[in-house]
Amino acid sequence: MITFHAEEQRLHAAHSEFNRGRLDVPYERPERADIILSAMQHAALGAVQIAGEFTLEHAARVHDAGYLAFLQSAWQRWADAGRHGDALPTAWAVRCLRSDRIPQSIDGLLSWYSFDTATAITPGTWTAVRRSMDVALAGAQQLAGGARSAFSLCRPPGHHAATDCYGGYCFLNNAAIAAQFLLDKGLRRVAILDVDYHHGNGTQEIFYRRDDVLYASIHADPATDYPYFLGYADERGEGLGEGCNLNLPLPRGTGWAAWSAALTTALAAINDFGAEALVVSLGVDTFEHDPISGFCLASTDFPGIGAAIAGLQLPTLWVMEGGYAVEALGANVAATLAGFQSAV
């Protein structure tokens, strides 16, 4: 399995996220990619390559044009307003406010296009985000060319990014863009399996009314955990997409027994769907010592995730999402992929 990455992904480097009543150094930091890259270089799972460049038209297949224009120009507009620190939003168009007027100022626009205080825009954010998309697409291109699998070491992650919203450390939805790329190359049905601790609200929203992509996710119950406002079991898809969305929320404290039972359920749904390829949103923030999460998977559990997914016998693109226990991050990612590789 080839691992794809890009040096410029480290250019997204925020000073802070607002969390638990204080400004913290962001958990989603550049060294995450360096750590995973180093683990992959030592894991002997296959070649490690720099991704080539792809056009933004691939992103425009799943994201709003105004949103993409905003993301490209946001830092410059912030700097033009005389700001030097991280660009963060300050207000949102929630239930009691209007959401039919797009603001004109950079402060209004940051709020319009975002949904949390954890996702700063910095001078290098757009370059990093673009390259993270390239990394996802390079992996998808491998699958389109007949590869059994590829690992897209994306950073920043993507699964919280919706059609026209960023948040949860995510700007472009790398997994969704990759899945759409595979459909555009002629596949009829693609499944996305999201094993990150958090519900991939963005991926769900993008495909919610469609029947060509199944979204299946195992995640912390939104009643207690981020992103709080999506990810319940009764969200099953709408219209054509009815039945093509499977949420398997689990309580804090969940360990391997219940988590792997949910994985079995998700894999059966993917099999029944008749997917021709699988995109895995790979978060390892399910790890017992993750600093912002509440599941209890041990490092020794991760190979079993890879092996179970290999059992689907589908072309499989692994797209990196979350995972913040930096001391174990590289080992947990490599262990998942090694479990897959030894079972194919």
Binding residues (CB under 6 A) for ligand Q9C: these are 19-20, 118, 157, 160, 168-170, 196, 198, 226, 283, 285, 292, 321-322
Q: In what order do the strands lie in the sheet with 2-5?
A: 48-50, 2-5, 149-152, 316-320, 277-282, 190-194, 213-220, 245-250
Total residues interacting with Zn ion, rule: CB under 5 A: 6
Name the DSSP class of 306.
Answer: H
Distances (CA, A) of 229 to 55, 166, 213, 232, 233: 32, 14, 22, 8, 12
- Residue 285 engages Zn ion in binding (rule: CB under 5 A): yes
Minimum CB distance to Zn ion, residue 167 (Å)? 12
Active-site residue, selected from the candidate residues 12, 159, 160, 199? 160
Give the residue with the Cβ less far from ligand Q9C, 228 or 260.
Answer: 228
Distances (CA, A) of 288 to 6, 70, 222, 285: 29, 37, 19, 8
Ordered DSSP codes for 256-269 = HHHHHHHHHHHHHH
Give the residue with the Cβ less far from Zn ion, 5 or 32.
Answer: 32
Give the residue with the Cβ less far from Zn ion, 89 or 200.
Answer: 200
Name which of ligand Q9C, Zn ion, none residue 157 binds, using a CB cut-off of 5 to 8 Å depending on partner kind.
ligand Q9C
Minimum CB distance to ligand Q9C, residue 119 (Å)? 8
- Residue 283 engages Zn ion in binding (rule: CB under 5 A): yes
Query: Helix crossing, 302-310 with 256-273: angle to 10°?
Result: 20
Site string for Zn ion, 195-214 (x = CB under 5 A): -xxx----------------
Name which of ligand Q9C, Zn ion, none residue 226 binds, using a CB cut-off of 5 to 8 Å depending on partner kind.
ligand Q9C
Tokens 């699958």 correspond to 143
- Residue 194 engages Zn ion in binding (rule: CB under 5 A): no
Contacts of 21 (CB under 8 A, 6+ apart): none
Give the residue with the Cβ less far from ligand Q9C, 144 or 280.
Answer: 280
Q: Which residue in 322, 331, 333, 341 binds Zn ion (CB under 5 A)?
A: 322
Ordered DSSP codes for 45-90 = SS-EEE-----THHHHTTS-HHHHHHHHHHHHHHHHTT--S-B---
The answer to whether residue 84 is catalytic is no
Separation of alpha carbons 47 and 41, rounded Å: 8
Name which of ligand Q9C, Zn ion, none residue 221 binds, using a CB cut-off of 5 to 8 Å depending on partner kind.
none
Minimum CB distance to ligand Q9C, residue 233 (Å)? 20
DSSP lists the bridge partners of residue 17 as 24
Active site residues: 160
Interface contacts to Zn ion, rule CB under 5 A? 196-198, 283, 285, 322
